[in-house]
Homo-oligomer: A and B are copies of this chain.
Amino acid sequence: MEYTKMTREDLQKELDLCLKLYEEEKAKGLKLDLSRGKPSPAQLDLSNKVMDTLNSESVLKSLNGMDLRNYGGLDGIPEAKELFAEILDTQPENVFAGGNSSLTIEFDIIAHAMIDGLDGCEPWMNVKDRKWLCPAPGYDRHFNMTEHFGFELITVPMNNDGPDMDIVEELVANDPSIKGIWAVPKYQNPMGISFSDEVVRRFASMKTAAKDFRIFWDNAYVVHDLYADKQDMILEIISECEKAGYPDRVYEFTSTSKMAFPGSGIACVATSVDNMKDLKACWTYAMIGPDKVNQMRQVLFFKNKENVEKHMQVLANMLRPKFEKVLEVFDRDLDGLGIASYTRPLGGYFISFDAMEGCASKAVAMCKDAGVVFTNAGATFPYGKDPKDKNVRIAPSFATLEEIEKAASLFTLCVRIVSLKKLLA
C-alpha cells in the first residue's frame, strides 16, 4: 500500500518495524560499497588477454611504417584512429587518438580554450562571468572540472530522453558567456537513459549567442550495452552538427577504459577537421606523441567494432545480473509504496534513484552508519548540491552479487525509514 495513503498509526507501525530491522542490519557490521563506478576485478579478468597482444618478438610498426617504440605520431597511430572512428561512426581524420584518459583530453581542451581561445574569440580566462551548462543528475567529475576552471555551473534538468532542450536553447541563445555544455548522450551517467534523435538534432542546430560555444559529448558508454537484443541507439553528433551548419560545435570523447582496463586503455577526441587542426596546433607544444605501443595493444585486442561488441557482451554477462539484482531488490521492497522511482538502463554503469524530496542524503547517511557506502547524495548535481535532495547514484559494477543483494536491501530499508519519518513529521 502506498505510504502516502496510510494512516499515521500504520505509518508509525511500519516505521517501528523498519527501525527494528535496521538495528539488526547495523549489528551485522556490514562493510560494503556501491559507490564506485568501476569494474570489478572479476570483470577485469575477462580482458587480461590485452596484456598478451604484444611482446618482445612482435613486429612493432604501425600501418604507416612508424616504429611504435620511438617518438612521433601526434594524433595517434592510423589503426587506433580507425578503431575509434568505427566505434563512434565517424571518420579517422576526425579522430585524435591519445593517452589513457578521456577526462584528461577534456581537461586539456578546456585549458586550451582558457588560454588560447577558440575560433578567434577571447580566451575563456578573460570571460569573467563564464558559465557552463550542466544537465543534472550528471557526472560529478564533469561538473567539478568546469567549476575548477572558474565557470559558473548552471543546472539543466534531465528528462528521460536527454536534457530539457527548451531550457538549453533559451539559455544558450541569450547569454554569450555560456561557453559549453556537458553531455553523456548514451546510457547517461547516472540515469542510464539515452538522448532521443530530436534532442541530438536540437543540440546540433540550436542558435548560440557565443560563437565559440562547445558541446562536450562524452560518449563514454557508446558500446556499453547490457543486452544483446535491446539496445539504445543515438544519432551521430559530428555529422549532425555539420548538417546543421555548425561543424566545429562538438568535441566527442570515448575510451577503451571500461572496455578492458580502466587505468591503461586509450582515449580519443573526435571532432571537425578544423577543430583537429586547432588542437594539433596547440598540442604539438605539449607532446611528441601518445603511447603508440599501448594503442597497438588495444587495436590488436579489440580488432574492429564487431569484435568490440562481442567482447562487450562478455562483460555484459557479468554486469547485467548486478543491475538486475539491484532492480529486483528495489522492486521487491519499494514497488507500490509511492516513495521512490528509479531507472532501468539498457547499458552504462549506473542506476539513478530518486527518493522523496529531502530524503536522499539522510538515507545515504543511514546506510553509511550501518557500514554500506553509496555515492554521496548531491554528487550528481553541480556544486554537489541536489536542490531537492532526491537523487542517489547506484553503482553496481564493482561489488559481487551477494554484496549487492545486502547493500540494496539495506538501502531500500533506509529509504523507507527516512520516507516514513518525513510523512510522520
Binding site for B on A (CB under 8 A): 38-39, 41, 44, 47-52, 54-56, 58, 60, 67-73, 99-101, 103-104, 107-108, 111, 114-115, 123, 125, 141, 144-145, 148-149, 257, 261-264, 282, 285-294
Asked whether, in the complex, the Cβ of A68 is within 8 Å of the Cβ of B263, the reply is: yes
Asked whether, in the complex, the Cβ of A52 is within 8 Å of the Cβ of B51, the reply is: no
The docked-state distance in angstroms from the alpha carbon of A125 to that of B48 is: 45
The docked-state distance in angstroms from the alpha carbon of A177 to that of B416 is: 61
Q: Specify the chain B residue showing the minimal Cβ separation from A125.
A: B125
The docked-state distance in angstroms from the alpha carbon of A54 to that of B141 is: 31
The docked-state distance in angstroms from the alpha carbon of A107 to that of B115 is: 12
The docked-state distance in angstroms from the alpha carbon of A56 to that of B261 is: 12
Asked whether, in the complex, the Cβ of A103 is within 8 Å of the Cβ of B52, the reply is: no
Asked whether, in the complex, the Cβ of B56 is within 8 Å of the Cβ of A70, the reply is: no
Residues of B contacting A56 in the complex (Cβ-Cβ under 8 angstroms): 48-52
Residue from B114, B262, B293 in contact with A263 in the complex, judged by beta carbons closer than 8 Å? B293
Q: How far is the CB of A195 from chain B (nearest CB, A)?
A: 25
Q: List 12 A-B contacts (CB under 8 A).
A: A51-B58, A51-B293, A55-B55, A68-B261, A68-B263, A104-B287, A107-B286, A115-B125, A145-B286, A148-B285, A263-B289, A264-B291
Q: How far is the CB of A298 from chain B (nearest CB, A)?
A: 12
The 9 closest A-B pairs by CB, nearest first: A107-B286, A48-B56, A69-B261, A264-B293, A148-B285, A264-B291, A51-B56, A71-B262, A100-B291
Q: Specify the chain B residue showing the minimal Cβ separation from A99.
A: B99
Q: How far is the CB of A271 from chain B (nearest CB, A)?
A: 19
Given contacts A107-B285, A264-B291, A294-B294, 16 further A-B contacts (CB under 8 A): A41-B67, A44-B70, A48-B56, A52-B56, A55-B55, A68-B263, A68-B264, A69-B264, A70-B261, A73-B263, A111-B111, A114-B125, A115-B125, A145-B285, A145-B286, A148-B285
Asked whether, in the complex, the Cβ of B70 is within 8 Å of the Cβ of A262, the reply is: yes
The docked-state distance in angstroms from the alpha carbon of A289 to that of B104 is: 10
Q: How far is the CB of A42 from chain B (nearest CB, A)?
A: 11
The docked-state distance in angstroms from the alpha carbon of A60 to that of B48 is: 10
Q: How far is the CB of A18 from chain B (nearest CB, A)?
A: 35
Q: Specify the chain B residue showing the minimal Cβ separation from A108.
A: B286
Q: Specify the chain B residue showing the minimal Cβ separation from A58.
A: B51
Q: How far is the CB of A57 from chain B (nearest CB, A)?
A: 8
Residue from B111, B261, B292 in contact with A264 in the complex, judged by beta carbons closer than 8 Å? B292
Q: Which among A100, A148, A263, A282 has the highest number of chain B CB atoms within 10 Å?
A: A263
Residue from B52, B60, B70 in contact with A38 in the complex, judged by beta carbons closer than 8 Å? B70
Asked whether, in the complex, the Cβ of A286 is within 8 Å of the Cβ of B103, the reply is: yes
Residues of B contacting A144 in the complex (Cβ-Cβ under 8 angstroms): 285
Given A51-B54, A115-B149, A294-B294, A71 and B285 touching (CB < 8 A)?
no
Asked whether, in the complex, the Cβ of A264 is within 8 Å of the Cβ of B294, the reply is: yes
The docked-state distance in angstroms from the alpha carbon of A290 to that of B69 is: 19
Residues of B contacting A67 in the complex (Cβ-Cβ under 8 angstroms): 41, 44
Residues of B contacting A104 in the complex (Cβ-Cβ under 8 angstroms): 286-287
Residues of B contacting A291 in the complex (Cβ-Cβ under 8 angstroms): 99-100, 263-264, 291, 294
The docked-state distance in angstroms from the alpha carbon of A264 to that of B77 is: 13
Given A263-B70, A264-B69, A52 and B55 touching (CB < 8 A)?
yes
Residues of B contacting A285 in the complex (Cβ-Cβ under 8 angstroms): 107, 141, 144-145, 148
Residues of B contacting A107 in the complex (Cβ-Cβ under 8 angstroms): 285-287
Residues of B contacting A287 in the complex (Cβ-Cβ under 8 angstroms): 101, 103-104, 107
The docked-state distance in angstroms from the alpha carbon of A234 to that of B73 is: 34
Residues of B contacting A261 in the complex (Cβ-Cβ under 8 angstroms): 68-70, 293
Q: How far is the CB of A379 from chain B (nearest CB, A)?
A: 15
The docked-state distance in angstroms from the alpha carbon of A58 to that of B261 is: 14
Q: How far is the CB of A214 from chain B (nearest CB, A)?
A: 17
Asked whether, in the complex, the Cβ of A100 is within 8 Å of the Cβ of B103, the reply is: no
The docked-state distance in angstroms from the alpha carbon of A107 to that of B283 is: 9
Q: How far is the CB of A397 from chain B (nearest CB, A)?
A: 11
Q: How far is the CB of A121 from chain B (nearest CB, A)?
A: 15
